[in-house]
Amino acid sequence: MDTNNALNAFSALSQQTRLDVFRLLIKCGAEGMGAGEIGEILGVKQNTMSANLAVLLNAGLIRNEREGRAIRYYADFDGIRALLGFLMADCCGGQPDLCREVIREVSCAL
């Protein structure tokens, strides 16, 4: 990921509804969720939700799949990994002990 892509991702996440959508889709994992469902849960109108989903798609933070007439949305874990990798690329100046807490914080509990 380059600086411009990272800035685009941060810009996408800097709005409350988009951040809420992003976090909701991360929680959904491989199941994903339909746009209507997302809108209902978050209390967001369809046209507003469509615009916010488009911004997150453009930023590479979510992906979608068509299911007949409906579209299902998912967190794009490759995009998330790239963003985290960008942030951590020069982590801790060669002192791996400093990174352990960060890595533990972003790791799934097993």
Tell me the per-residue pLDDT of 40-53, one tens digit each, with 9 for 90 and over: 999 999 999 999 99
Mean pLDDT for the stretch of residues 59-63: 97
pLDDT tens figures, 98-110: 777 777 777 765 4
Query: Are the C-beta atoms of residues 43 and 1 closer than 8 Å to each other?
Result: no
Per-residue confidence band for 11, with pLDDT thresholds at 50, 70 and 90: very high
Q: What is the pLDDT of residues 81-97, one digit of tens each?
A: 999 888 887 777 777 77
Q: What is the pLDDT of residue 103?
A: 74
Residues 6+ positions from 40 with CB-CB distance below 8 Å: none
Share of the chain above pLDDT 90, in %: 70
Task: Please report where in the chains the tokens 């959508």 appear, as a residue.
Answer: 21
Query: pLDDT value at position 85?
Result: 85
Q: What is the pTM of this model?
A: 0.86
**CATH fold for domain 3-106:** Arc Repressor Mutant, subunit A (1.10.10)
Residue 110's pLDDT is: 47
